[in-house]
Amino acid sequence: MAGKTGAFIIPLLLRKTPIDKITAQSKIDGNVVVGESKELDELMLKATKITGLPAEPKLRKLMELTRSTLKYFGKAARKEIKLDSLEKLDWLDQNVTLKSGYKASLAETLDRGYGICGHFTALYAVLAQQSGLDVVVNHADGDMEPINIVRSDNNLPLFKEVPVGKRTGAHIFLEVLKDNQAIPVDPTTNLIGLSEEERKVFETARYYDVVLAWGQQETDVRPPNRLFITLHAHIPAGNSLYQGRLDIKNLRELDFSGNLSFDMTQLDVIKAQNGGLEIVTLNSKVSS
């Protein structure tokens, strides 16, 4: 049957899935290599010792371990470090910033005591997993960057070095998966979504987990064509299930007949790396 052109939209139900077992070679959010060091081993041992704690005190203890180990490498830190060591400041600029591509491993960063959101999130993820928790690492980017607000739980700005009302820029945070819940955690801002007020901060600041999958597929339509497949899932932090949609677009407008079929190979790659989404229900056939 002729006349099928443009895009197809297929509804699907998605469920968040945890990150694989973290090792020294793992890259958190695809950038921060974990690495090995005596200090990291000691922190992991401390995390192991709190395995039996209930969820709330455990999550808060993990936050304490993370933030007592790392300071945020921002404007205030730069002034402080500059007075102490220009060599250290140069090393941090060249190795731990987003612009540098996170050259240093997490273990190397711990040795200097400073990092940015990727390092805070990586350390918390390592320690959380070590304490027996399942985690998902989230990268909020583009139009899904969080917005700096005055926190409703303490009346202080959420991000100290971003004007209130402005977007943060690309930001990394995580969620702990427990009892069919996704508990949002931002170790960079010392925020855990346990209380109603804390969850409200995540919601108001518009924390989102953004997952994109793409690929070109051979199909059994006639005449043969390659299609572009995109999954856009803008999932508010704290949601473990999401009703999303899969957009399938022709690279060019074309009349065809037959059945359109596809797989989710690219999504599987993202899922394997830092946790992500699995498809619960999906209608994977579109008939002409």
| pLDDT 10s digits, 150-175 | 998 899 999 999 999 999 988 999 99
- Lowest-pLDDT range, 47-61, 90-104, 133-147, 193-207? 133-147
- Lowest-pLDDT range, 23-37, 120-134, 202-216? 202-216
Residues of the chain with CATH 3.10.620: 23-206
Average confidence (pLDDT) over 122-140: 94
Binning the chain into helix, strand and coil, the percentages to the nearest 5 are 30, 30, 40
| pLDDT 10s digits, 5-24 | 456 666 777 788 888 899 99
Q: What is the rounded end-to-end Cα distance, in angstroms, of the chain?
A: 6
pLDDT score, position 229: 58
Q: What are phi and psi of 153, to 5 degrees?
A: -90, -25
In the chain, the percentage of residues whose pLDDT exceeds 90 is: 53
Task: Provide the CA 173 distance to its chain's centre, in angstroms.
Answer: 5
Confidence bin at 287 (pLDDT 50/70/90): very low
Mean pLDDT, the chain, whole residue set: 82
* Angle subtended by helix axes 86-95 and 75-84, to nearest 10: 140
Lookup: tokens for 79? 């002034």
| pLDDT 10s digits, 25-77 | 999 977 899 999 999 999 999 999 999 999 999 999 999 999 999 999 999 99
255 with 3: CB under 8 angstroms? yes
134 with 177: CB under 8 angstroms? yes
pLDDT score, position 262: 52
pLDDT score, position 250: 56
CATH topology of domain 23-206: C8orf32 fold (3.10.620)
In the Cβ-directed half-sphere of 214, how many Cα atoms lie within 13 Å? 6
Residue listed under structure tokens 């320690």: 127
Coil, helix or strand for 104? coil
Radius of gyration (Cα) for the chain, nearest Å? Answer: 21
Q: Give yes or no for residue 206 having a pLDDT over 80.
A: yes
Q: Pairing between strand 27-28 and 7-17?
A: unpaired
* Nearest of 253, 202, 210 to residue 230 by alpha carbon: 210
Alpha-carbon distance of 153 to 156, in angstroms, equals 8
